[in-house]
Copies of this chain bind each other. A is one copy, B any other.
Amino acid sequence: MSGIADVARLAGVSKSTASRALSGSGYVSEATRDRVSAAAASLGYVPSTNAQSLSTGRTQSVGVVMPHINRWFFAEVLEGIQQALLERGLDLMLYDAKPGTERRRRIFEDFLARKRFDGLIAVGLEPEQDELDTMLSLGKPVVSVIGDQSRTSVVTLDDSHTTERATEHLIALGHREITFLGAGTHTRWPHVESARVSGYEETMRRAGLERHIAHVPSALTMPAGYAAAVDLLSDSRSRPTAVVAACDEVAIGAIIAARRLGIQVPAALSVVGIDDHEHAEMFALTTLQQVPRQQGATAVELLMRQIDDPGAEPIAVRLKPRLVVRNSTAPIVPASSAAVADGGIVPYA
């Protein structure tokens, strides 16, 4: 059986470089990593992680804590993390910590305390204060995906910017009666939700459309968006001409609701989402694109940086989304606009 020395010899590098290249820890150039990987592959060399752990004190694993798996955003982030860890030869320990469950309590109280990982990535956790304390008290690097906090490195979307762009897009198309649909149920991601709502409100204010500010709350799912949109759209007198949705799932729920009510999208109603969800194309949805897979990969990069240099200051990476224009938004038809009256919509308190 081949050892690390054989791999190093074949690749023409030192043993420590070969080891660094295979373990993914410490700096190695891309070219060297490829050469060492090729040498390892040709020799059928499999690093013994137990031996690696003994020599480096590392577990060669990264823990990922997330409140959901079965949601587009979370699954995509997870795939991005998995891919980036795999490239570095690291295992992924998954902790599915749904809020308010006994399972979540056990993860924080028992599982994390075992420290079977070199670092933690917390995805969309919005941890309680004591949960964050628990994570930081482990003495391992922690990186957050989504969130608004300075105690860990963080990768996040510039949330208020997303709805600013969405609202500006609709205003540029001539819309005035623009309602914000979704969020505001204050259950899960308060920072995300309030930043998206305020990005919309500020843009409306800046455009002198203060009196048209309206927010219909809904959870961030397709069925919830559907139900909220049926309420919003069923009275033709109070119906807006355009909707900024808090995310694509809510936007798709709104499009399905509009179709059921016989309202043409985009002729009679423009809808813009946030995400570029896997189903956005099917509904021809105009949206602000985020790439959660890339957020996962970036989180791994930030984590490796802190594993290699535990004293490094936390970094915040704030991503700007790209506007993808499809066929759910269109210029307003002035006549139909005049026929739409105000009122009946729950104002955002």
Partner-B contacts on A (CB < 8 A): 41, 46-49, 61, 69-70, 72, 75-76, 78-79, 82-83, 86, 89, 91-96, 103, 106-107, 109-111, 113-114, 116, 222-223, 226, 256, 259-260, 278-279, 281-282
Chain B residues with Cβ under 8 A from A76's Cβ? 70
Residue contact B89 to A91, C-beta cutoff 8 Å: no
State the Cβ distance, A241 to closest chain B Cβ, in Å.
Answer: 22
State the Cβ distance, A48 to closest chain B Cβ, in Å.
Answer: 8
Residue contact B70 to A86, C-beta cutoff 8 Å: no
Residue contact B282 to A226, C-beta cutoff 8 Å: yes
Chain B residues with Cβ under 8 A from A96's Cβ? 78-79, 82-83
A283 and chain B: residue at smallest CB distance: B256
Q: Report Cα–Cα, A341/B91, bound state, in Å.
A: 58
Chain B residues with Cβ under 8 A from A92's Cβ? 93-95
Residue contact B91 to A281, C-beta cutoff 8 Å: no
Which of the residues B48, B75, B222, B259 comes within 8 Å of A75, measured between beta carbons? B75
Q: Report Cα–Cα, A49/B78, bound state, in Å.
A: 25
Chain B residues with Cβ under 8 A from A47's Cβ? 114
Which of the residues B46, B79, B106, B111 comes within 8 Å of A114, measured between beta carbons? B46
Given A61-B116, A69-B79, A78-B94, 5 new contacts (CB under 8 A): A69-B69, A79-B96, A92-B94, A223-B282, A259-B259
Q: Report Cα–Cα, A331/B11, bound state, in Å.
A: 71
Q: Report Cα–Cα, A75/B94, bound state, in Å.
A: 12
Which of the residues B46, B69, B83 comes within 8 Å of A78, measured between beta carbons? B69
Q: Report Cα–Cα, A106/B90, bound state, in Å.
A: 12
A221 and chain B: residue at smallest CB distance: B278
Q: Report Cα–Cα, A82/B93, bound state, in Å.
A: 11
With A110-B46, A116-B91, A259-B260 already in contact, the answer to whether A278 and B86 are too (CB < 8 A) is no
Chain B residues with Cβ under 8 A from A75's Cβ? 69-70, 75
Chain B residues with Cβ under 8 A from A260's Cβ? 259
Q: Report Cα–Cα, A93/B94, bound state, in Å.
A: 6
Q: Report Cα–Cα, A114/B76, bound state, in Å.
A: 26
State the Cβ distance, A95 to closest chain B Cβ, in Å.
Answer: 8
Chain B residues with Cβ under 8 A from A82's Cβ? 94-96, 103
Chain B residues with Cβ under 8 A from A46's Cβ? 110, 113-114
Residue contact B78 to A103, C-beta cutoff 8 Å: no
Residue contact B111 to A223, C-beta cutoff 8 Å: no
State the Cβ distance, A93 to closest chain B Cβ, in Å.
Answer: 5
Chain B residues with Cβ under 8 A from A49's Cβ? 114, 116
Residue from A89, A91, A107 with most neighbouring chain B CB atoms (10 Å):
A91
A75 and chain B: residue at smallest CB distance: B70
Q: Report Cα–Cα, A47/B113, bound state, in Å.
A: 9
With A70-B72, A86-B103 already in contact, the answer to whether A222 and B110 are too (CB < 8 A) is no
With A49-B116, A79-B96, A86-B103 already in contact, the answer to whether A223 and B259 are too (CB < 8 A) is no
Q: Report Cα–Cα, A82/B92, bound state, in Å.
A: 13
Q: Report Cα–Cα, A256/B260, bound state, in Å.
A: 10
With A91-B116, A222-B282, A259-B259 already in contact, the answer to whether A79 and B70 are too (CB < 8 A) is yes
Residue contact A281 to B223, C-beta cutoff 8 Å: yes
